[in-house]
Amino acid sequence: MIERAHVIAGGFPPGAPAGHDHDYARLRLLTLLAEHNIPASVANDFTDVEKWLPVSRLLITYVAGPYPDAAQSAAIQAWLSSGGHWFGLHGTSGGKAQRVDGVRNRRTVKTEHHGVLGSFFLTHPPLCTFKVDAIADHPLTKNVAASFEIEDEPYFIELQHPETTTVLLTADYGKDGIWPTVDALYGSDPSLLPDRKTRVLGYTRPVGAGAVTYFAFGHCTNPPIYRGPWEHPAFVQLLRNAIDFRRDA
C-alpha cells in the first residue's frame, strides 16, 4: 500500500472558522507532507474518517470544534492498534463545549475521543509568550532546542493515560498560568503535573502497533492575520518530526 495521510482541518459549525485559519494550517500541513512525498486526502471534519483510515498510515487533525463521535473514535482506536499514527494539533484535544452559569468561557465535555487521543483540553489564558522545555533523545524532538520561547495560546490539558504517555514538551506559564477560570469551570486544575506548576504541551503514547502524538501549539487566525507558532522554527521542526515518525524508529 502507498503510504498516505488523511488531513482533517476545520471549524464548527461546518464552514465556520471558529477563531482559526484552517485554510492556512491545511496548506502548511500539505506542504510539509509534500516534502516527504506523502500523498494526502483532506476533510473538514470526521464525517467520513472510516473511509480514509484503511488507506492511510497517518491521520493529522487541526480542528476547532469538530471531534469524532463514539463510532468514529472506535474506528480510530482500531486503526491505531493496527499500526496507524494519529498526529493531533491544537484544538484536537477540545470538542463539545457547554455553557457554565456565571462564567464567560465554556467547559469542554469529555467524550470518547479524548480517551483515544490521550488528552483533554480544559481552557487557556490569553495568547502570550512562554518558555517550553523539550526532552532530548527522542525522534519527535530531534533537532529541537532543549528550551525555546514561543508565542501561542497557553493550553491547559489533562493527560488521560499518564502511565503509558511519554511527555515530550512541558511549560511553566508562571504568572500567565494563574487562571481562576479553570477552577470556575472544573473545580480544580488537573492539567498541573505533581510539582503543581508544570503543564504538558506535547506527548506521544503507543496504542497497539500504532501511536498517538499531540502538540498543543498551532494558533493562527485571519482576520487578523496571525501565524505565531507556524513561523517558529521549533514548531516547524516538530511538525516535520511527527510526519516522519515511526514508532519503531
DSSP 129-172: EEEEEE-SS-GGGTT--SEEEEEE---EEEES-GGG-EEEEEE-
Q: What is the pLDDT of residues 128-182, one digit of tens each?
A: 999 999 999 999 999 999 999 999 999 999 999 999 999 999 999 999 899 999 9
Q: Which domains does the chain have, with CATH numbers?
A: 5-243 (3.40.50.880)
* Per-residue pLDDT at 223: 96
**CB count in 10 Å sphere of residue 248:** 6
* Per-residue pLDDT at 159: 98
Residue ranges for the chain with pLDDT beneath 50: 249
Q: What is the pLDDT of residues 162-177, one digit of tens each?
A: 999 999 999 999 998 9
* Per-residue pLDDT at 248: 54
The cell numbers describing 161, all together, are 493515560
